[in-house]
Amino acid sequence: MTSQDTPQEPPRPQDGTTPHGTAPGGTAPGDAGAERSETAPPTRSAGARMQDATSRAADDLRDRSKRLLGSLSARSRGEGWEKPEGELAKYRSRWRAGMRFVLQRVVFRAVVNSAVTPEVQVHRRVKSIRGPFVLVANHTSHVDGPLLAMSLPWTQARFLCTGAATDYWFDHWYRRIFVRTMLNAFPIDRGGSRKHSGTSRKLLRSGVPILVFPEGGRQTTGTMAEFKPGAAALAIGVGVPVVPAAIIGGYEAMPKGRYWPVSGRPPVRVVFGDPMISHEDESAVEFSARIRAEVKDLYDEHHDEVLGAGARGEEESA
């Protein structure tokens, strides 16, 4: 090989840079600090990270509420919920639902029709609901639960359940069998016990709709009491709609203290209103007040037609 074929090494600059003007590490002298600033992101406080996580959770909840309000009948509303296991599985049992259909829609309906003159009015959007929801109504008599269950369209009422006081309905076997078969009932504790705490939330997450009477007890004067915020808190916490319902004539037909309706087959109407979703940043107390106002509006709208204006005058003077 001749000297002409030998590759010549380019002259090395005296300032310590490579022939292409880069520093020995492969970076330009002026870019070294910039690269370090890009590869070392600034540290953030735990408070800032928590604030971001809270903001993302709030955005997710708002998006879910919009989707629920926009399409209550979406297929995903009837699916995708947790599969109930153990004790919760019976609340979505198909054979139990079939037995309730016979009890509610055949046997109980025949009894009701012989004692009162029932009427039902259902908002069209109620019929499109798939998946769990919270049914909220005024509480007028012992038959309110079965009356609401048999009046609601079967697609929505199939797995509907309600809470029943453990110390009364579940202490005796015959009462327990009645409320479980007729109302798909689950036990709720009174007097400070927490044994069955959280059951209603677990049921909703398992795709089971729940009936709640927010007044906390039957009316004693025929006037609707204030609503406790528990039902609203459940709906907000799980992200399900609320179906408001009003029972008109139930108290007049069977006031507290009676175990059978008054004679003459008095009229009783059940009205299911437009499903409701909590507003952004709305508290349980505020949502509960809005639900009560809707139930009251449904009641007032149909009162005179069912009971007559004279009955309203007596209520207002009482």
**Whether pTM exceeds 0.85:** no
Angstrom CA distances, 82 to 24, 59, 131, 204, 213, stand at: 60, 23, 11, 9, 25
For 307, other C-beta atoms within 10 Å of its C-beta total 21
pLDDT tens per residue across span 38-93: 555 556 677 777 777 777 766 666 666 555 555 554 444 545 577 778 888 999 99
Structure tokens at 84: 């109930």
pLDDT at 315: 52
Share of the chain above pLDDT 70, in %: 73
201/1 Cα distance (integer angstroms): 88
pLDDT at 25: 46
pLDDT tens per residue across span 100-153: 999 999 999 999 999 999 999 999 999 999 889 999 999 998 889 999 999 999
Structure tokens at 110: 């025949």
Residue 113 gets the label, from left (phi > 0), alpha (psi -120 to 50) or beta, of alpha
Strand ranges (E), 166-262? 186-188, 210-212, 242-248
Beta bridge partners of 270: 120, 247
pLDDT tens per residue across span 286-311: 999 999 999 999 999 999 999 987 66
- Kindly report the average pLDDT of the chain as a whole number: 81
pLDDT tens per residue across span 177-189: 989 999 999 988 7
User: Residue type for 263, please?
Assistant: S
DSSP assignments along 100-160, one per residue: HHHIIIIIIHHHHHHHSEEEEEE-TTGGG--S--EEEE---STTHHHHHHHHS-HHHHTT-
pLDDT at 285: 97
Cβ contact 104:150 at 8 Å? yes
Q: How do the residues of the chain divide into helix, strand and coil, expressed in percent and rounded to 5?
A: 45, 10, 40
Cβ contact 184:94 at 8 Å? no
